[in-house]
Every structure is written in structure tokens, then in C-alpha cells.
Amino acid sequence: MTVTDTRIIKSEIMVIPKWARVLAAVVFIAVPICFYAFVWTKPSDAPVPFRILVSFLPGSILAVLALMVGYVNKDAGRRGMNRTLWTLLVIFIPNAIGFILYFLLRSPIRVECPKCGTVVDPRVNFCPHCRHSFHDTCPQCRSAVRPGDKFCANCGAHVDQVA
């Protein structure tokens, strides 16, 4: 893993809201306590390695689930997606299919227009509020051109790029 990868993972983890972290921690500790308090009341009920495995496993799974739900809840917001809808889908579609769907279907993170501050989809060419151009565009048909292109891929017009 490169330094950039680590940084991306760190910033993604920072997206997880505080309530989800607290919930994850509580669940992780509370589930084993419940097992010890209500299931194995006598020392002869189960061998120790079995107890540790069985009590920590569901707690860990629920804790990870809480973190993932928190992540989706926050991440959907910065992508201009319906936060409530996606949070519910992720919780109620079984076998993590909701999560898989979310990662397949999520929109790109919205960006702020450097000129007027309007939050826009990064795939657009122009800011809908102030007409600031986000990418180099073809002078004839206004479709985006990639850096270094000499001719527009859409209409064939000659492109003079500033950079």
C-alpha cells in the first residue's frame, strides 16, 4: 500500500460519525457481557475458549455493522444521495447486499465550485450557478476534452488548450 492509499483509507474512516463509533464500542463490549450475565451463569456451562469465541464474534459483527451503517449514512450525504433511504436499505437488505449495492451505485463525491461555492456533481462541465468551467471544453460543442487532446472527441473541432 502506498502513502496515498493509507491517507485515503484514513480520510474514509474519518467519515464514520461519532454516534456510530460509540455504538460500535458499546455493542462490542455489551454483547459479551450479556452472554456472561445471562447465558453462562455457572462456570460449568461452557469451556472458556468456546465462551470467548461465541461471545465476541456476534459483538464484533454488530460493531462492524454499526460502523458501516454510520459510514453510509454520512457518505451518502456528501454524494447528494438520499441518506435516510440508503441507511435503511443497508440495514434491512440481508447478507450485506445493501452495502454492495451502495458501493456499486453511489454517486461521486460532490465538489464545491471554486468560483461561487455551489456544490455540484464533479461530472458536469460547467457550474450551473455561475458558469465556471470545471474542465477544458470544446469551443464548438462544449463537451469536455481530456488534457493533451488536439481535437474534440465528440465533434472533431480543433481544440486549443491553455495548459
- Positions touching Zn ion (CB under 5 A) are 113, 115-116, 118, 127, 129-130, 132, 138, 140-141, 152, 154-155, 157
Q: Please identify, using beta-carbon distances, which residue of 65 and 152 lies nearer to Zn ion.
A: 152
Pick between residue 60 and residue 118 the one whose CB is nearest to Zn ion: 118
Q: What is the nearest approach in angstroms of Zn ion to the Cβ of residue 77? A: 21
Residue 102 identity (one-letter amino acid) = Y
CA–CA dist 152, 163 (Å, integer): 16
Instruction: Using alpha carbons, select from 5, 115, 15 the residue that is nearest to residue 75.
Output: 15
Report the distance separating Cα 111 and Cα 118, nearest Å. Answer: 8
Q: What number of other Cβ atoms are within 10 A of residue 39's Cβ?
A: 12
Minimum Å gap between C-beta 133 and Zn ion is 10
Nearest approach, Cβ of residue 82 and Zn ion (Å): 24
Nearest-angstrom CA–CA distance, 140 and 155 = 8
Taking the C-alpha atoms of residue 76 and residue 107, their distance in angstroms, rounded to an integer, is 8
Q: How far is the CB of 126 from Zn ion (least distance, A)?
A: 8
Between 6 and 140, name the residue whose CB sits nearer to Zn ion: 140
Question: In the complex with Zn ion, which residue's Cβ is closer, 24 or 144?
Answer: 144
DSSP code string of 80-106: T--HHHHHHHHHHSTTTHHHHHHHHHP
CA distance 113 to 74: 21
Nearer to Zn ion, 7 or 115 (CB): 115
Minimum Å gap between C-beta 88 and Zn ion is 33
